[in-house]
């Protein structure tokens, strides 16, 4: 789908998705700033910001093979894990001053073990992520965040006070509010921004200083207020899945006429659909409650499928979605079960739904194009 938005800010966001280190991040590093990697969206980024670092979501951008990683992990591990580890083993993540993990899945958990032993990163930390979303798990994660805060602060020689945390929470909430404004524009009959462009905006926000990102996003929203909308599409699509950081994947869908107007992705709506409670009495508890109980969960969390299904159905209604595409990285156990159950939920209503498996690198474009075409035709579009 040809872009109709002429914006230098959008181009800057798009360029940030094509390499690990973008100009804004490089400028931060050149000025002596620190960067801390995050291997999952459940890492409390506000703690990292409060410590004076830029939180950076780990990606495999630029990887072409997994030769080194395959000596550590087998082919039954997902390709995102293998490509990102391979980049680490090749020294492509040498710009990191630290890296944090949660045990989001066994694949990620094993990467922490290999990274700690084989890659010279000054600070590494694993948070124990609960598997449920009820009150005991909130308290559990509060303790994990507190330990992370204290250990990171000790390593950096920084006291991460409540005042610093509240300031970081307000900054990240500002990001979430701006991103929700971006999504609101996609509810229009003629959205001024495509799904691929939106994903580029979201990914860029995980790879540059937050204050600069917010300022750029405000400029983009101003550009969008005067932009021509898209009317040349066959159907409005919702995209569901785990890690997807390559806008070219959505380009393939949109080139067939399926305009992606919303999502449930861990680089998308699930990271910003709710704010951290700024009126809570304790910032660490507020963060724990947000990451465990308040925001939309992913299939990593047991017993929360009904709430996830309701979130998808609300999105379908609010964004006037015609069909849902669920993408899954091959070998991802969590999303295998989730996609099946969600398909059963939507089948009851007769809503168009398709599951697509993929590798981390964009391959099999012809097959993807064919399946999307067939899906749109099945929908009568």
Sorting pLDDT into bands at 50, 70 and 90, what band is 16?
Answer: very high
56, 245 contact by CB (below 8 A): no
Tokens of 352: 């168009």
Percent of the chain with pLDDT over 70: 99
CA distance linking residue 319 with residue 119, whole number of Å: 44
Q: What is the mean pLDDT of the chain?
A: 95
Cα 269 → chain centroid? 8
State the burial class of residue 233 (Cβ atoms within 10 Å of its Cβ: 0-12, 13-18, 19+).
buried
Over 70: is that where the pLDDT of 131 sits? yes
Specify whether domain 22-158 bears CATH 3.40.50.11890: yes
3-state secondary structure 285-333: HHHHHHHHHHCCCCCCCCCCHHHHHHHHHHHHHHCCCCEEEEEEECCCH
Q: Is 321 exposed, middle or buried (0-12, 13-18, 19+ CB in 10 A)?
A: buried
Q: Give the closest residue to 44 by CA, choosing from 151, 116, 155, 184.
A: 151
- Cα–Cα distances (Å) from 17 to 14, 59, 238, 245, in that order, read 5, 10, 21, 8
Region 238-259: what's the mean pLDDT? 96
Beta bridge partners of 354: 325
Q: Which residues pair with 56 in a beta bridge?
A: 37
Could you give the CA distance from residue 275 to residue 25 in angstroms, rounded to a whole number? 25
Contact criterion met (CB below 8 Å) for 170 and 210: no
Burial (CB < 10 A; 0-12, 13-18, 19+), residue 94, is exposed
Question: Any alpha helices (H) in the chain, and if so which ranges?
Answer: 8-16, 23-30, 45-50, 79-89, 106-118, 135-156, 162-185, 195-204, 210-224, 247-255, 283-289, 305-318, 333-347, 365-378
Report pLDDT for 199: 98
Compute CA 237 distance to the chain's CA centroid, rounded to the nearest angstrom: 18
- The position carrying tokens 């309701």 is 310
Whether 250 has a pLDDT exceeding 90, the answer reads yes
Cβ neighbours around 302 below 10 Å, total: 11
- CA–CA separation, 376 vs 45, rounded Å? 38
Nearest in space to 202 (alpha carbons), one of 191, 187, 217: 217
Residue 71 is given by DSSP the state G
Give the per-residue pLDDT at 111: 92
Predicted TM-score of the model (pTM): 0.96
Residue-wise pLDDT for 54-107, tens only, equals 999 999 999 999 999 999 998 888 999 999 999 999 999 999 999 999 999 888
- Which pLDDT belongs to residue 330? 94
- Those residues with Cβ within 8 angstroms of residue 144's Cβ, 6 or more apart along the chain or in another chain: 127, 128, 129, 288
- Please tell me the predicted confidence (pLDDT) of residue 3: 62
DSSP sequence for 172-196: HHHHHHHHHHHHHHTTSSS-SS-HH
DSSP-derived 3-state class of residue 270: helix
The contacts of residue 22 (CB under 8 Å, 6+ apart) are: 15, 16, 204, 207, 208
Write down the pLDDT at residue 2.
Answer: 60
- Show me where the domains of the chain are located: 22-158
- Residue 1, pLDDT above cutoff 90: no
The pLDDT of residue 45 is 98
User: In this model, does residue 213 exceed pLDDT 90?
Assistant: yes
Give the pLDDT of residue 380: 81
Summarised one tens digit per residue, pLDDT across range 304-345 is: 999 999 999 999 999 999 999 999 999 998 899 999 999 999
Residues 373, 362: Cα–Cα separation, whole Å:
18
What DSSP element (H or E) covers 94?
none
The answer on pLDDT for 4 being more than 70 is no
SS3 label, residue 277 = coil
Q: What does the pLDDT look like over 167-199, one tens digit per residue?
A: 999 999 999 999 999 999 999 999 999 999 999
- What percent of the chain has a predicted confidence (pLDDT) above 90? 92
Res. 5: pLDDT tops 90: no
């Amino acid at each position: 789908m040809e872009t109709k938005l002429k914006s230098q800010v959008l181009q800057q966001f798009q360029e940030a998705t094509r390499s690990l280190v973008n100009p804004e991040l490089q400028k931060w590093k050149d000025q002596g700033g620190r960067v801390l990697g995050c291997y999952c969206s459940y890492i409390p980024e506000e703690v990292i910001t409060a410590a004076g670092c830029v939180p950076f979501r780990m990606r495999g951008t630029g990887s072409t093979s997994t030769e080194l990683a395959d000596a550590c992990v087998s082919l039954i591990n997902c390709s995102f894990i293998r490509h990102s580890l391979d980049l680490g083993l090749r020294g492509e993540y040498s710009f990191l001053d630290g890296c944090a993990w949660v045990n989001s899945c066994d694949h990620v958990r094993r990467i922490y073990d290999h990274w700690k032993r084989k890659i010279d990163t000054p600070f590494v930390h694993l948070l124990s992520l609960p598997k449920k979303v009820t009150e005991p798990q909130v308290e559990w994660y509060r303790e994990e965040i507190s330990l992370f805060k204290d250990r990171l602060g000790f390593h950096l020689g920084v006291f991460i006070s409540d005042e610093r945390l509240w300031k970081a929470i307000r900054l990240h909430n500002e990001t979430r509010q701006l991103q929700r404004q971006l999504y609101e524009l996609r509810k229009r009959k003629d959205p001024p921004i495509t799904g691929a462009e939106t994903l580029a905006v979201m990914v860029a926000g995980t790879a540059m200083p937050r204050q600069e990102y917010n300022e750029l996003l405000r400029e983009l929203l101003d550009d969008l207020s005067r932009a021509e909308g898209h009317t040349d599409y066959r159907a409005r699509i919702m995209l569901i899945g785990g890690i997807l950081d390559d806008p070219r994947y959505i380009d393939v869908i949109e080139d067939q006429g399926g305009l992606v107007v919303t999502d449930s992705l861990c680089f998308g709506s699930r990271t910003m659909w709710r704010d951290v409670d700024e009126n809570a009495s304790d910032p660490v508890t507020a963060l724990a409650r947000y990451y465990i109980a308040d925001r939309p969960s992913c299939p990593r969390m047991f017993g929360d499928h009904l709430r996830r299904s309701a979130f998808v159905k609300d999105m379908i209604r609010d964004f006037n979605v015609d069909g849902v595409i669920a993408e899954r990285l091959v070998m991802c156990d969590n999303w295998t079960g989730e996609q099946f159950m969600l398909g059963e939920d939507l089948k009851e209503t007769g809503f168009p739904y398709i599951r697509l498996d993929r590798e981390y690198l964009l391959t099999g474009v012809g097959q993807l194009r064919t399946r999307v075409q067939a899906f749109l035709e099945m929908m009568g579009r």
